[in-house]
Amino acid sequence: MNIATTLFIIGIGLLILVFVGQYITMITSKPEEIGLLIHERINNERIKAGLQPFQYDTKLAEIAEAHSKDMAEKGYFSHKSLAGLGPADRARLANYPCVTGENITTIYTWLYTKQLAQHAVNNWMFSDTHRKNILSTIYEKEGIGVAFTVTSVALVTQNFC
């Protein structure tokens, strides 16, 4: 067997390991727990910037999770649902008294929940627009929702109030 074949087999093995790891994590993890891990890391970023931490709002988390699930089930990635509803529309329909801001991200490759949470935060913090939402003094609360596609891609929504 030559070196190229050996490297190819190792590469395929690693891909299988990642997929199996993601699948096991996906079926054994509670999305709410992942949301709380992300929340903890978001507050670490706010504290590093000299800001007050966000309060975690379970109603906002429910709104965020519903959007993540909708994207996962219907195969799209957007702040607007396929029905044309944006973050403020979804908040209003849920009888939530605040117009919310929103960050969304997808995580394609991860092995365990802490890594998934860190990837979500990194994606947002390395984007000027998302970073501004996270470090805004306008918002006091956040809720985070996580859902998975059938191929183990994580869709994460963060709503602010």
Tell me the pLDDT band of 154, cut-offs 50, 70 and 90.
Answer: very high
pTM of the model: 0.84
Burial (CB < 10 A; 0-12, 13-18, 19+), residue 36, is middle
Contact 161, 98 (CB under 8 A): yes
Average pLDDT over residues 18-38: 72
Per-residue pLDDT reduced to its tens digit, 93-138: 999 988 779 999 999 987 788 999 999 999 999 999 999 999 999 9
Please give the Cα distance from 25 to 116 (Å, whole number). Answer: 10
SS (H, E, C) 18-78: HHHHHHHHHHHCCHHHHHHHHHHHHHHHHHHCCCCCCEECHHHHHHHHHHHHHHHHHCCCC
Residue among 129, 127, 124, 117 at smallest CA distance from 154: 117
Of the two residues 10 and 112, the one the predictor is more confident about is 112
Per-residue pLDDT reduced to its tens digit, 53-65: 999 999 999 999 9
- Residue 9's pLDDT is 61
- Residue 134's pLDDT is 98
Q: What is the mean pLDDT of the chain?
A: 89
